[in-house]
Amino acid sequence: MVVPLLVPLLVILMQFGVAFNYKNQLTQLAAEGARMAAVDRNPGDSTALTLQNYIRSQAVGQELKNGGTTAVPDPIRVCITPGSTAGDPVTVTASVTFHWLPIVNSDVTQTTITGSATMRMEQLASKYALGCSPA
């Protein structure tokens, strides 16, 4: 008699755990990206690996890096919005669409989880591209 109530509760608790893990990871990735953008550093050092792609590659687990699952259909979207001069803020936002109940594919069971970080630019942006990836 208790099992039909306990199983859905456990599933819901597990999904919240996954969502909070993703939120923490996205916030950490945004903070790492904001620091790199603030000091005008692109660890990729090539045109093929933009700062946005580098930040995405640092995610733990293939689900966030590449998407393609029922819970996370698309990879992390990373946006960089810098100021125009040194001393202005640079903001990095990492977001992903998360389906709470992957079995039910509807707009009601999905949400966008976002992590964001803002830091003061120490140097003007010259080694990374502005905007969002994937577009």
pLDDT tens for the 135 residues of the chain, in order: 888 889 888 988 998 999 999 999 999 999 999 999 999 888 866 666 788 999 999 999 899 999 888 889 999 999 999 888 888 999 999 999 999 876 666 677 889 999 999 999 998 888 888 889 887
Measuring CA to CA, which residue among 78, 58, 77, 74 is closest to residue 66?
74
pLDDT of residue 104: 67
CA 59 → CA 108, 120, 126, distances in Å?
A: 26, 24, 24
Tokens matching residue 111? 């949400």
DSSP at 46: S
Q: Which amino acid is at 3?
A: V
Q: pTM for this structure?
A: 0.87
pLDDT of residue 46: 61
The neighbour count for residue 42, using CB atoms within 10 Å, is 20
Domain-wise residue ranges, the chain = 3-133
pLDDT of residue 41: 87
